Chain A
Amino acid sequence: MSYFTIFSTMRSEVSLLTIILFLLVYDLIAGKKGESYFQPVAILLFTLHTIFNLFPAEAGEAFGGMVQYHPVMTIIKTILNVGTLIIFLQSKYIFDGNRMKHQRGEYYFLTLSTLLGMYLMISSGHFLLFFIGLEMASIPLGTLVAFNKKSKMSAEAGAKFILLSAFSSGILLFGISYLYGVTGSLYFSDVSVLLSNNPLQIMAFLFFLSGLFFKVSFVPFHLWTADVYEGAPTNVTSYLSVVSKSSAAFVLMILLFKLFGNYLYEWQTLLFWIIIVTITVGNLFALRQQNVKRFLAFSSISQAGYIALGIISGSTLGMTTVIYYIFVYLFSNLAAFGVITAIESRTRKINISDYKGLYHTNPKLSFVMMLAMFSLAGIAPFAGFMSKFFIFSAAAQQGYYLLVIIAVVNTIVSLYYYLMVVKAMFIDQNDHPVPALRTDAWNRASLVICTAAIIFVGLLGFLLDVIEKQSFGM
């Protein structure tokens, strides 16, 4: 096998690693002068990386199957890249006000490290590499959650995240060790054919799965979500809710399709109940939240349930719709977080009640937030409607009518709390609304991108074809 093949198989990991190292060195030598250039430099390099990642390559593997590559991974990684890029655009203010101006480098370095971990999880063909990826995606994230050293909330969130991550990793590793014990191999290609109805194997499989469910925050593995989302700096929260969660969902989907095909019946049954519980509980808790970040935490839990609705169908269409759904979800959620960042960075206000009367002072921000809520709730004609519609049709195609009905009823419930935010902004009166503010150019750019995507992605029919061409089913 030539070096070039290995390189093309792992090109996105290689290029990301290059950037990480560059940023690390840049941080060391730039000193105080270079600090203000960190965001532009990181964005520029990362944009180049995103474009580089787009070059097509043949499906293949490297290092004896340790690393596997499939064209759909390019799409998946691109989606993660786009999400990260938009978060970088919104990150100017993460350092303001908490005397962390000298940590700019660390922020980008740590974020990209977790992204590298996610890449490894996605392209791994071996449990060991997978586990390394998982840990790489978790531990720096814990640091990021606790990034705000002056804040008790942030520290508490970081502690919770690290402890519970460790706990879930333990259970997952426990599952892996049993899988190794019963099959004698850690290569996915070996394990996938050796799995049978042996109870020990099923137990190992389920333990492994719980570890992943933790990352996607399915109920009942979701309890960490709200506390961590609330305590973490806002940009880290958006990273958690968009990039981290999506990557976990992608990994879950790929593993279920590729590795656990023998357990199709088991995981479909399991997901059936998980979906019902996740969507419903996520919605029920979202109803009562006052804090915008907690509110979005629960909203993202129920969104994860909808994503699983595409996974459960196990078909090519299912994979297509999951990727499409996440693509749309990314823009809708990041639009909301962009607005939250803009308001929080200037006023420190993060309660829904603070948003009352926002329309009168900040009509543009309110408009973006409204579109984001509409799209998350799945109101036509915005992209969120199309993606929900596709995911429902994928599930219905496989005969999950009951599930689709439950999901639709839950959509109605979710409409209530999404529209509560819109109502607060547009209808409610407030004597002291958030003053008129103007966020920085990068964040404005991110909001423009997200708004355009919310409006137009649903209308671009060819996107679905592009994704479908690379997707695979059971």
Chain B
Amino acid sequence: MEYTLLILLLPLASFVLLGLLSNRLNHKTSGVVGTGVLLLVTLLSFYAAWNYFTTQKAGGVFQSLLPFNIPWLGMGPQLHIDLGILLDPISVMMLVVISTVSLMVHIYSLGYMKGEKGFQRYYAFLSLFTFSMMGLVLSTNIFQMYIFWELVGVSSYLLIGFYYTKPEAVAASKKAFIVTRFADMFFLIGILVLSYYTQTFDFGALTSGNTALFQQALSITFMGASALVWAMALIFIGAAGKSAMFPLHIWLPDAMEGPTPVSALIHAATMVVAGVYLVARLFPVYVVFTPEVLEGIAYVGAFTSMFAAVIAMVQTDIKRVLAFSTISQIGFMMVALGVSKFEGHGGLGYMASMFHLFTHAMFKALLFLGAGSVIHAVHSNEMSKMGGLRKHMPVTHWTFLIACLAIAGIPPFSGFFSKDEILAATYQYNTGLGIWMTFVAGLTAFYIFRLYFSIFWGKENRYEHHTPHESPRTMTFPLIFLAAVTLLGGFIPFGNFVTADRSEYTIHIDWLIAVISIVVAVEAIFIAGMRYQYPGRRLKKMPSLLQGFNRAAQHRFYVDEIYLFVTKKILFNGISRAFAWFDRHVVDGFINGLASVTGWVSVKIRGLQSGEIQWYAFVFLLGTLLITALFLFI
């Protein structure tokens, strides 16, 4: 299956081509080139997936495959960094997800970004992102993954800051980059600790269950935890940064300053699940050797999902609602991984997490693209500027509704199946956690229908520019396609393909849990409908305690302010000032002193260069005699 190398090389070539030719291409050509290349990549990915899942099964277990691997950097007798391609169930599944969503976004952008300045640049960056993301999931070792991890960060930075004349976009791109880089620092330390003790970067070796490999890392302890626990926890911090887990989630809502299709691709479907992917990739290590870290992951995920869902309930910018919803849903995936065991039915959580990753990518991309279509029509992100759009934009309306039903967990839409598996896994683990997550699922249904009703129902606004109309076909086609996937995706026998121990798992729906969650979701939708379908009819005023809570939620519980306080007041004022003083007075002082002494001396010795040849010869002779004297008499 060497052709999988093309999946990496084609987007890279497209990036180089579009980037270099840039303005020499007209908009249409660059869009067609970018989309065409991606179509090819998508076909290859699907073919690879089909090929892999039909042929690579031995003894009921999917085998890992290395179609391409070269040693790159040797760093000692054993430790070496390779560059290669790793095919196994999760990486192949990710190939399908990334290429599908990316292709849809490419097509969608043909319409959405039409006439924008820097159209070619936009497509070049999209290609770069696709290349990086594909490289990330196909990496054979953790260091290679780290390289692509950073590349993904860079392309995300470039795309968030695409409208670089807008100060908010620039600030948001900076914020995203710095926050994720901050997390990546821990990731890198984790990688170094892990590789130092195990003497390998290779995923194959790390996940083979070889106890001897971790002997040393487990025996050395630091502050009450073994080196392996530290390493795996640090690696998880890196994952939490990319996947926007609390408290590193603050960059994701701001990242919505980027073009909406970019949000759909990067900040909903692909890059933000890289953290989930990383945990899944190292899952055998987590589950066997560091179950305590895995437990921590479950609780971080559970808290984040509730936290983000609460904030999503009160946001008024439709993209931010979706951003917080994404954070909350990634929390679901993390919880599922955290509660999972390795083998047999214990591995339900792992399978459910991957399943949810898959379905979520599709319906969340659909939600974002639908939101983009609405924004395209209304020229605003604010809910208050919308309302009653269902008549004007039927395609957007119906596809958006499908996505809302999916995320709310209503059968037979895909979200129902994956979420139900996650809930079942959490109940298996701990009833309290199960109830908590069921409640979050209810909140999800509420905020998403609050969004839906405010956009498409309610009183029609006076639209300033023109009456909104349906988006062009390039934009509606991806909506319809993704809606179809969302409708049918739940019936994929996912357990046959992706499981923790890679042997088959038959999905069966736990009807008790399913009925409970459906009832909760329908209830929540009903409340949302009552409140927002007819804006004239308000429910009773909220009690004052809840109002305060409401305000705090609107301000995202002041997490950003805490960050600002810590960085501006403590770091910049306290620590940086001292360093700045040292730099200005001691370091610069030395350099400035050097400069002034140099200048002074150079004035003083100018006379040496008199231009007179006698003098030159004299100095010459003097020099010769001087060095002779130096050696003969000293």
Q: Are B594 and A412 in contact (CB under 8 A)?
A: yes
Q: Are B602 and A284 in contact (CB under 8 A)?
A: yes
Q: Are A220 and B623 in contact (CB under 8 A)?
A: yes
Residue A288 at the chain B interface, CB threshold 8 Å: yes
In whole Å, how far is A212's beta carbon from the nearest beta carbon of chain B? 11
In whole Å, how far is A220's beta carbon from the nearest beta carbon of chain B? 4
Q: Given that A206-B628, A283-B598, A412-B594 are known contacts, is A220 also in contact with B619, CB under 8 Å in the complex?
A: yes
Q: Are A171 and B624 in contact (CB under 8 A)?
A: yes
Q: Are B591 and A412 in contact (CB under 8 A)?
A: yes
Q: Are B595 and A221 in contact (CB under 8 A)?
A: no
Q: How far is the CA of A202 from the CA of B621 in the complex (A)?
A: 17
Residue B599 at the chain A interface, CB threshold 8 Å: yes
Residue B631 at the chain A interface, CB threshold 8 Å: yes
Q: Given that A171-B624, A210-B623 are known contacts, is A413 also in contact with B598, CB under 8 Å in the complex?
A: yes
Residue A344 at the chain B interface, CB threshold 8 Å: no
Q: Are A284 and B613 in contact (CB under 8 A)?
A: no
Closest to B601 in A: A284
Closest to A203 in B: B628
Residue A226 at the chain B interface, CB threshold 8 Å: yes
Q: Which residues of A contact B630 (CB under 8 A)?
A: 270
Q: Given that A210-B623, A287-B602 are known contacts, is A413 also in contact with B594, CB under 8 Å in the complex?
A: yes
Q: Produce 1/0 per residue, A143-173, CB < 8 A to B.
A: 0000000000000000110011001100100
Q: Which of B139-147, B547-555, B571-579, B603-611 contacts A (4 or more CB under 8 A)?
A: B603-611
Q: Are B613 and A164 in contact (CB under 8 A)?
A: yes
Residue B47 at the chain A interface, CB threshold 8 Å: no
Q: Are B621 and A171 in contact (CB under 8 A)?
A: yes
Q: Are A223 and B605 in contact (CB under 8 A)?
A: no
In whole Å, how far is B162's beta carbon from the nearest beta carbon of chain A? 27
In whole Å, how far is A76's beta carbon from the nearest beta carbon of chain B? 26
In whole Å, how far is A416's beta carbon from the nearest beta carbon of chain B? 7
Q: Which residues of A contact B591 (CB under 8 A)?
A: 412
In whole Å, how far is B72's beta carbon from the nearest beta carbon of chain A? 15
Q: Given that A164-B617, A220-B619 are known contacts, is A202 also in contact with B632, CB under 8 Å in the complex?
A: yes
Closest to B633 in A: A199
Residue B491 at the chain A interface, CB threshold 8 Å: no
Closest to B621 in A: A171
Residue B615 at the chain A interface, CB threshold 8 Å: yes
Most buried by B among A167, A206, A266: A206
Residue A442 at the chain B interface, CB threshold 8 Å: no
Q: Are B609 and A226 in contact (CB under 8 A)?
A: yes
* Count of residues in A whose CB is under 8 Å from the partner chain: 35
Q: Which residues of A contact B605 (CB under 8 A)?
A: 281, 284-285
Q: Are A223 and B632 in contact (CB under 8 A)?
A: no
Q: Given that A160-B613, A203-B632, A227-B611 are known contacts, is A167 also in contact with B602, CB under 8 Å in the complex?
A: no
Residue A207 at the chain B interface, CB threshold 8 Å: yes
Q: Are A270 and B627 in contact (CB under 8 A)?
A: yes
* Count of residues in B whose CB is under 8 Å from the partner chain: 29
In whole Å, how far is A270's beta carbon from the nearest beta carbon of chain B? 6
Q: Given that A223-B619, A285-B602, A412-B591 are known contacts, is A206 also in contact with B613, CB under 8 Å in the complex?
A: no
Most buried by A among B613, B615, B619: B613
Q: How far is the CA of A164 from the CA of B623 in the complex (A)?
A: 14
Residue A44 at the chain B interface, CB threshold 8 Å: no
In whole Å, how far is A198's beta carbon from the nearest beta carbon of chain B? 11
Q: Produce 1/0 per residue, B560-591, CB < 8 A to A.
A: 00000000000000000000000000000001
Q: Are B598 and A221 in contact (CB under 8 A)?
A: no
B contacts with A: majority SS: helix
Q: Are A287 and B599 in contact (CB under 8 A)?
A: yes
Q: Are A285 and B609 in contact (CB under 8 A)?
A: yes
Closest to B606 in A: A288
Q: How far is the CA of A202 from the CA of B629 in the complex (A)?
A: 10
Q: Which residues of A contact B613 (CB under 8 A)?
A: 159-160, 163-164
Q: Given that A164-B613, A214-B620, A284-B601 are known contacts, is A223 also in contact with B608, CB under 8 Å in the complex?
A: yes
Q: Produce 1/0 per residue, A274-288, CB < 8 A to B.
A: 000000010111011
Residue A426 at the chain B interface, CB threshold 8 Å: no
Q: Given that A206-B628, A226-B609 are known contacts, is A221 also in contact with B594, CB under 8 Å in the complex?
A: no
Residue B50 at the chain A interface, CB threshold 8 Å: no
Q: How far is the CA of A209 from the CA of B626 in the complex (A)?
A: 13
Q: How far is the CA of A389 from the CA of B147 in the complex (A)?
A: 27
B620's partner among A203, A206, A223, A283 (CB-CB below 8 A) is A223
Q: Which residues of A contact B601 (CB under 8 A)?
A: 284
Residue A441 at the chain B interface, CB threshold 8 Å: no
Q: Are A223 and B624 in contact (CB under 8 A)?
A: no
Residue B32 at the chain A interface, CB threshold 8 Å: no
Q: Are A220 and B620 in contact (CB under 8 A)?
A: yes
Q: Are B627 and A221 in contact (CB under 8 A)?
A: no
Residue B622 at the chain A interface, CB threshold 8 Å: yes
Q: Produce 1/0 per residue, A387-424, CB < 8 A to B.
A: 00000000000000000000001001100100000000
Q: Given that A164-B617, A220-B620 are known contacts, is A266 also in contact with B598, CB under 8 Å in the complex?
A: no
Q: How far is the CA of A328 from the CA of B607 in the complex (A)?
A: 33
For chain A, residues 282 to 299, give those with C-beta under 8 angstroms from any C-beta of chain B. Answer: 283-285, 287-288
Q: Which residues of B contact A95 (CB under 8 A)?
A: none
Residue A224 at the chain B interface, CB threshold 8 Å: yes
Q: How far is the CA of A266 from the CA of B630 in the complex (A)?
A: 10
Residue B616 at the chain A interface, CB threshold 8 Å: yes
Q: How far is the CA of A206 from the CA of B611 in the complex (A)?
A: 26
Q: How far is the CA of A202 from the CA of B633 in the complex (A)?
A: 12
Q: How far is the CA of A413 from the CA of B620 in the complex (A)?
A: 26
Closest to A175 in B: B624
Q: Which residues of B contact A164 (CB under 8 A)?
A: 613, 616-617, 620
For chain A, residues 212 to 257, give those with C-beta under 8 angstroms from any C-beta of chain B. Answer: 213-214, 220-221, 223-224, 226-227
Q: Are A206 and B608 in contact (CB under 8 A)?
A: no
Q: Which residues of A contact B598 (CB under 8 A)?
A: 283-284, 287, 413
Q: Are A224 and B627 in contact (CB under 8 A)?
A: no
Q: Are A220 and B594 in contact (CB under 8 A)?
A: no
Q: Which residues of A contact B595 (CB under 8 A)?
A: 413, 416
Closest to B634 in A: A269
Q: Given that A206-B628, A409-B594 are known contacts, is A160 also in contact with B616, CB under 8 Å in the complex?
A: yes
Q: Which residues of A contact B627 (CB under 8 A)?
A: 206, 209-210, 270
Q: Which residues of A contact B631 (CB under 8 A)?
A: 202, 206, 266, 269-270
Q: Are A210 and B632 in contact (CB under 8 A)?
A: no
Q: Which residues of A contact B617 (CB under 8 A)?
A: 163-164, 167
Closest to A172 in B: B624
Q: How far is the CA of A171 from the CA of B622 in the complex (A)?
A: 12
Most buried by A among B598, B613, B620: B620
Closest to A226 in B: B609
Q: Which residues of B contact A171 (CB under 8 A)?
A: 620-621, 624
Q: Which residues of B contact A266 (CB under 8 A)?
A: 631
Q: Which residues of B contact A416 (CB under 8 A)?
A: 595
In whole Å, how far is A163's beta carbon from the nearest beta carbon of chain B? 6
In whole Å, how far is B607's beta carbon from the nearest beta carbon of chain A? 11
Q: Are A223 and B606 in contact (CB under 8 A)?
A: no
In whole Å, how far is A28's beta carbon from the nearest beta carbon of chain B? 36
Q: Which residues of A contact B626 (CB under 8 A)?
A: 220
Q: How far is the CA of A207 from the CA of B632 in the complex (A)?
A: 13
Q: Which residues of A contact B621 (CB under 8 A)?
A: 171
Q: List 9 A-B contacts (CB under 8 A).
A: A199-B632, A203-B632, A206-B631, A210-B627, A214-B620, A220-B622, A223-B608, A223-B616, A287-B598
List 19 other contacts, CB 8 Å, given A203-B632, A227-B611, A283-B598: A163-B617, A168-B620, A206-B624, A206-B628, A207-B624, A207-B628, A210-B627, A220-B620, A220-B622, A220-B623, A221-B620, A223-B608, A223-B615, A224-B616, A270-B627, A270-B630, A285-B602, A412-B594, A413-B595
B residues in contact (CB < 8 Å) with A: 591, 594-595, 598-599, 601-603, 605-606, 608-609, 611, 613, 615-617, 619-624, 626-628, 630-632
A residues in contact (CB < 8 Å) with B: 159-160, 163-164, 167-168, 171, 199, 202-203, 206-207, 209-210, 213-214, 220-221, 223-224, 226-227, 266, 269-270, 281, 283-285, 287-288, 409, 412-413, 416
A-B pairs with lowest CB-CB distance, top 3 = A220-B623, A284-B602, A223-B616
